[in-house]
Amino acid sequence: MPSKHLALLRGINVGGKNKLPMRELIGIFQECGCERARNYIQSGNILFDAAPGVLTVLASRVETRINDQFGFRPPVLLRTEPALAAVVAENPFLAEGVNLDALHVYFLAGPADPDRIGQLDPDRSLPDRFGVRGCEVYLHLPEGMARTRLTNAYFDSKLSTTSTARNWRTTCKLLDMMRE
C-alpha cells in the first residue's frame, strides 16, 4: 500500500542555475512509479505517495532521469511523513522562543557519525548555532542563511554526507501538506 513521502532535491532553480521545470519534475516522479506527485514552490520539494518497492530505487532513478533530460544530477533525499513530523517536533531551538525566520534545517542523506559530529566547530559562525539530531542539522541563524559560515559544503565535508537546506516555514508547510 502506498505511503506519503517527500523528496528534497538539492540546488535546483537557484540563482538561475540547474533549471528544472516543476511539471517535468513531477512527470519524472510519476514515470518512476509515484502517485499523487505534486510540488511545493520551485526549489525541489516533491510530495508523493509510493509503495515500498518503488522507494528502494527511487532517488537514483530520479537523479539519472534528471541528468539524462537536463544535464545535471541533483541529490535527491527522501523522508516519510513520520520522519518529517519528528524533524518538526525535535527542533531544539523552538523551546527558546527564537524568531522562526531564523530557523533552518539541513536534511542529511543519512545519520551523522557521532565521532564526526564531535569534530564540528560550534564557534565557526557566531552568533549562529546548530544542533545535529539523527539525519538533520538544525540551525539558528539570526543574521540569515546568506551570512552564515555553516554551509552545505561545511557540513557535507565534516559529516561525510550530502545535505540540502530548507527554512523552517517551508519545513512546516511541507509537513502540513503531507498530512492533508
User: What pLDDT, on the 0 to 100 scale, is given for residue 14?
Assistant: 78
Q: What is the pLDDT along the chain (180 residues), one digit of tens a residue?
A: 779 999 999 989 877 788 999 999 999 999 999 999 999 998 899 999 999 899 999 999 999 999 999 999 999 999 999 999 999 999 999 999 999 999 999 999 999 999 999 999 999 999 999 999 999 999 999 999 999 999 999 999 999 999 999 999 999 999 999 998
User: What pLDDT, on the 0 to 100 scale, is given for residue 16?
Assistant: 74
User: What pLDDT, on the 0 to 100 scale, is given for residue 95?
Assistant: 95
**Which amino acid appears at position 139 of this protein?**
L
For each of the domains in the chain, give its residue range(s) and CATH number, in order of start. Answer: 3-74 (3.30.70.1280), 83-179 (3.30.70)
For the record, the C-alpha cell of 109 comes out as 542523506
Decide: 131 and 138 in contact? Cβ < 8 Å.
yes
C-alpha distances (whole Å) from 47 to each of 26, 59, 154 are 9, 13, 28
Residue showing cell 525566520: 101
Could you give the CA distance from residue 12 to residue 16 in angstroms, rounded to a whole number?
9
Q: Are strands 129-133 and 136-140 parallel, antiparallel or unpaired?
A: antiparallel
Of 114, 125, 117, 122, nearest to 150 by C-alpha is 125
Could you give the CA distance from residue 133 to residue 113 in angstroms, rounded to a whole number?
11
- How many Cβ atoms from other residues are within 10 Å of residue 57's Cβ? 12
User: What pLDDT, on the 0 to 100 scale, is given for residue 2?
Assistant: 79
Of 108, 93, 86, 102, nearest to 155 by C-alpha is 108
Indicate the pTM of the whole model.
Answer: 0.94
Decide: 130 and 150 in contact? Cβ < 8 Å.
yes
